[in-house]
Structure 1
Amino acid sequence: MTDVVLPCLNEAPALPWLLSRLPPGYRAIVADNGSTDGSADVARAHGARVVSISQPGYGAAVHAGLMAADPADGVVCVLDADGSFDPADLPRLTGPVHAGEAELVVGRRRPVTRGAWPVHARVGNAVLSHRLRRTTGLPVHDIGPIRAARRSDLLALGLRDRRFGYPLELLIAAGRAGWRVIEIDVAYHPRAAGTRSKVSGSLRGTVRAIHDMRAVLAR
């Protein structure tokens, strides 16, 4: 069984479709980060395990989800809970890890519509990705909001960021550890109606995320 960690903050409208799309053999862990829209109840009603996290932040939610995952040395996936990714793509990411071809597989967002990924968010991501390639040599063009790796490997990295810098810290740590990292194109859809991205949904959110990521780079 492959656990899928879904960091969640007010994503109730997206969860029914998202959870219904999990492939056989994949199990959802919704890491609820203080939702006030009933996300936790919706997730439970659709068969997901729910872990409540009091500490705010994307990294805090992901870390709590990893801690709740099966402690066996299995592969764990992480993806956003807003419906922008199709869980049916997950086997394409887990395959190379299971086959021993990579320690980490990340998805490179390919927007299916112009509005799926706002320009301000795309530019910020491109700048950070360029710096990441230059400093680590990793062949990545996206700061991996959908990814797969072994749980034990992820925890062994000792990641400290509990905010939006977490995905970038993961990639930097993976590069330093000599991990084989593969990037795979994945379709990026407009998020479900009634949800709003905490990063790309507003210029303020994007600036906040870039600030967190710059703090990671400074370390």
Structure 2
Amino acid sequence: MTQTRVDVVFPCLNEAGALPWVLSRLPEGYRAIVVDNGSTDGSAEVALAHGALVVHEARRGFGAAAHAGLLASTAPITAFCDADASMDPRFLPLLVDPVEAGTDDLMLGRRRPTTAGSWPLHARIANTTLSWRLRRTTGVSIHDLGPMRAARREALLSLDLQDRRSGYPLEMFLRAADADWRIREVDTPYSPRVGRSKVTGTIRGTITAIHDMSKLLREVR
């Protein structure tokens, strides 16, 4: 039996159509933890059928699902990835290997769109603005606060992350920067997702994310 080196957390809300492809792309030694956040399309059953550990998180919110997956993780390294097929898990070693080697503490996947429709313009503008602000605030060279990331599990737990909404990735980054973690990003392909996005695919979702992150920036910084 292959030893689990990495647990990959997939926050999930109605991603039954994407999960078979996503879970089939995991490298050897990587275990999928699919955190079902109230799906009504059978996502949990699909995930189980494809060998994932399924965790149920009743409290709605990206951060709630992501943190539930972190708490369920037992491998030395925990990675995070969207479950909508916009990101290819085959590229996770680009993030995991530097953490495993001890050269970096938090690795981030910088999204590089594969097609013009991969990343809506309003979401890209919001991300560019946020990244510029974070570079000025923290001095860390960051161009994308993307959802694909990897770090050591115990180190992530030590950050004591509290956000349970859209600000979870930002809080992780800010607290890691405050703790002088070695943070680096690498390019990863970003494709059109399967189905409709709950956050950046809608203007309302993007505004909600901006509100959550702006509030967090004021509180943490």
Structure 2 length-normalised TM? 0.96
What letter is aligned with 1:190?
P
Gaps of 5+ in 1: none
In the alignment, what sits opposite 2:213? 213
Q: State the SS of the aligned residue for 2:189.
A: strand
- 2:55 corresponds in structure 1 to 51
Q: Find the counterpart in structure 2 of residue 3 from structure 1.
A: 7
Cα shift readout 1:148-204 (whole Å, capped 9, x = no counterpart): 000101110011100000111111111100000010000000012xx2111111111
Q: Distance in 2 between matches of 1:211 and 1:9?
A: 21
Q: Equivalents in 2 of 1:124, 1:10: separation in Å?
A: 25
Match of 1:145 in 2: 147
Give the 4+ runs in structure 1 shifted more than 4 A. none
Secondary structure, in 3 states, of the residue corresponding to 1:217? Answer: helix
Match of 1:188 in 2: 190
The alpha-carbon deviation at position 25 of structure 1 amounts to 0.6
Does 2:30 correspond to 1:29?
A: no
Q: Give distance in 2, aligned partners of 1:217 and 1:83.
A: 29
**Quick one: which amino acid aligns to residue 145 of structure 1?**
P
Alpha-carbon distance, 1:144 to partner? 2.4
- Which one-letter code corresponds to 2:81 in the other structure? L
Letter in 2 for 1:168: L
1:127 and 2:129 matched: yes
Amino acid at match of 2:12: C
Give 5+ residue unaligned stretches, structure 2.
Answer: none
Q: Sequence identity of aligned pairs in percent?
A: 61
Q: Is 1:67 paired with 2:33?
A: no
Partner Cα distance (1:154, 1:198) in 2: 25
Amino acid at match of 1:212: D
Matching residue of 1:158 = 160
Q: 1:210 Cα deviation (Å)?
A: 0.6
Q: How does 1:38-117 map to 2 (within 5 A)?
A: 38-70=42-74, 74-117=76-119
